[in-house]
Amino acid sequence: MQIHGDNSEVGNVVINFSENQIVEGNAISHNPGSSEIKINEDGIYQVSYQLDGNTTTSGRFNFNAILVINNIPQFDTLNEGAVIVEDIINNRYTLTSTVILRLTSGDILQLEGLSQENITYPNARIDIEKIG
């Protein structure tokens, strides 16, 4: 399943995904506009995401992302990206990651952007494939 999002939230937020682009099979489901991706079949899944962050803040800030399963952050999926900004306006940064997860039917998967600073998340993409 390939899902895209566009978010205007700021700081620490669970990312909403506005549209499903490629859906094959029934192992995964998602309602457009929601942050929740439902796992419908037990298995091994490859999860890849791209999360864009944008800020007009100058100075140093942190932009991180983490996968969350059933409202529990999966700390081994934490993706940290320290960004150093001088006096540039409209700085953009992208985090990408690919992980392999064992998921169970009924699990809810979410992507969370983590930042204490004034960061918005204008674009996000997550690709999930059942591989075993």
The domain segmentation of the chain, as residue ranges, is: 2-130
User: Would you state the torsion angle of the CA atoms of residues 39, 16, 48, 65, taken in this order, to the nearest 10 degrees?
Assistant: -120
Question: Which among 24, 10, 27 is positioned nearest to 105, based on CA atoms?
Answer: 27
For 28-37, write each residue's pLDDT tens digit.
Answer: 999 999 999 9
Element (H, E) at 114: strand 108-114
pLDDT (0 to 100) of residue 36 = 96
Q: Which CATH architecture has domain 2-130?
A: Sandwich (2.60)
For 39-73, write each residue's pLDDT tens digit.
Answer: 999 999 999 999 988 777 666 677 889 999 999 99
For 4-22, write each residue's pLDDT tens digit.
Answer: 566 655 567 899 998 888 8
Q: For residues 85-89, give the mean pLDDT.
A: 59
> Which structure tokens are listed for 43?
């298995």
Which residues are CB-neighbours of 39 under 8 A, at least 6 positions away? 27, 28, 45, 103, 104, 105, 106, 107, 108, 109
